[in-house]
Amino acid sequence: MQGYLTAVGTVGGIYALLALGLNLQYGFTGLINFGVVAFYAVGAYTSALLALRGVPFVLDFAAAAVLAALFAWPLGVMCLRLRDDYLAIVTLAFAEILRTVIVSEEWLTNGTRGIPGIPRPFSGLGAAAGGFAYLALVLAAMLAGVSLTVRLVGSPFGRLIQAIRDDEDAVRSVGKSPARCKLVVFMIGAGLTGLAGALYAHYLTYISPDQFVPLLTFYVWIAVIMGGAGRVGGAIAGAALLTLFLEGSRFLRDVLPFVSEVQMASLRLAAIGLMLILFTLYRPQGLLGRVAR
């Protein structure tokens, strides 16, 4: 059981890091990023490919975050001056384009065959201790993400981005450039997402393009919305709640013995959907909803 809980904690921590990145973009700045999975994939592939070439882990993780942020730059330059909706369209398309590129560029990514055998930090410590150490690493990354968000949001820059979210025209009228600020936030969020991707790749030790589908983007959106957009704790709470829904439902059959095994699998997904619907109906502002404005 302990190993399973460690695994759930690790995956939940990675979701939390993703949610922190998106929360910074959407919750605090109002950027609608539907391409979370693209930056996640950039981070995962960057770190995996570097690690397999013998580059130390620290540099792999750093490179994953930096490269994911750099991928965000041209997208931001192109569409952050436009209305919000365009960013949504462009990022969604970008994620699909990137996945197709990963599938096609076999010389680099091994195409649809994916990359097996990615080394994992602490694997020398044995299964249990190594799993714990990796969980600690993920939680440390998550806490770093939290402290970064807290510092950023509390700074004058943080007030500026929240003002952009609330009324962009007002910000422009006092002589600030919303586009530049949005670009910076977009890149920082992408960097956090890339770091999460790297942690994911080394955790799973195998990545392939079919792991980077839009569904993941929407999981992260669910986490942010359920947790409460625009609250630092919201991202963490949302990711925890999502993981609880996804994983807790596995044990449903133990309390519903009259349902057959095969039915349970489909019923489980239906139950997750129902929980999400009920949650958003009765708690639309999220678990830690933004204080009413």
Partner 1 sequence: MPVRKWMLTRRVLGQAGAATALAAVVGRPARADRPYRIGALNPITGAGSTYGSGMQKTILFALEEVKRAGGVDGRPIEVYAEDTQTSPDAAVLAARKLIDANKVDAIIGTWSSSVSLAVLPITNEANCLLLHTSSAPALSTPAQNPKHLAWRFQAASHQIGDAYAAIAAHEKASRAAAMAFNNDVQIASVGFFRSAWEKAGGKLPNPVVYEPNRTSYAAELQQALSEKPDFLVVSGYVPDTSIILREAYEAGNTAKIVIPGWAMGPATVKALGAEVLEGLIVVDAVPDAGSAAFKTFDAAYRAATGNPGSSNIYAAMCYDMVAVLTLAMQKAGPSADNAAIAQVIPEVANPPGQAVSSFAEGRKLLQAGQKINYEGASGPIDFDERGDVTPVFGVSVFHDGKLEQRYLLK
With binding defined as CB under 8 A, does residue 107 bind partner 1?
no
Q: How far apart are CA 47 and CA 292, in angstroms?
A: 41
With binding defined as CB under 8 A, does residue 173 bind partner 1?
no
Q: Write the interaction track for partner 1 spanning residues 64-103; mark x where CB under 8 A is met and - where it is not.
A: ---------------------------------------x
- Binding part of the chain for partner 1, among 34-42, 84-92, 153-161, 240-248 by CB under 8 A, reads 240-248
Q: Report helix, strand or coil for 54.
A: coil
Contact indicator for 178, 89 with CB cutoff of 8 Å: no
Distance spanning both ends of the chain, measured CA to CA: 44
User: How near is the Cβ of 228 to partner 1 at its closest, in Å?
Assistant: 9
Out of 152, 264, 271, 276, the residue judged to bind partner 1 by CB under 8 A: 264
Q: Report helix, strand or coil for 131.
A: helix
Measure Cα distances from 124 to 8, 103, 119, 133, 283 in Å. 21, 32, 10, 11, 45
What does the block give as tokens for 210?
């079919």
DSSP structure class, residue 113: G
Out of 105, 150, 250, 274, the residue judged to bind partner 1 by CB under 8 A: 250
DSSP structure class, residue 210: G
With binding defined as CB under 8 A, does residue 174 bind partner 1?
no
Out of 84, 96, 168, 247, the residue judged to bind partner 1 by CB under 8 A: 247
With binding defined as CB under 8 A, does residue 117 bind partner 1?
yes
Nearer to partner 1, 22 or 80 (CB): 22
Half-sphere exposure in the Cβ direction for 194 (13 Å, CA): 25
User: How near is the Cβ of 209 to partner 1 at its closest, in Å?
Assistant: 9
- Binding part of the chain for partner 1, among 28-36, 62-70, 189-197, 210-218 by CB under 8 A, reads 210-218
Out of 248, 271, 276, 280, the residue judged to bind partner 1 by CB under 8 A: 248
Q: How far apart are CA 198 and CA 121, in angstroms?
A: 11
Out of 54, 174, 175, 255, the residue judged to bind partner 1 by CB under 8 A: 255
The H-assigned helical ranges of 80-112 are 84-104, 106-109
Q: How far apart are CA 213 and CA 226, in angstroms?
A: 21
List residues near partner 1 by CB under 8 A: 1-5, 7-8, 11, 103, 111-114, 116-117, 127, 200, 204-206, 208, 210-211, 215, 240-241, 244, 246-248, 250-251, 253-255, 261-262, 264-266, 268-269, 283, 287-289, 291-292
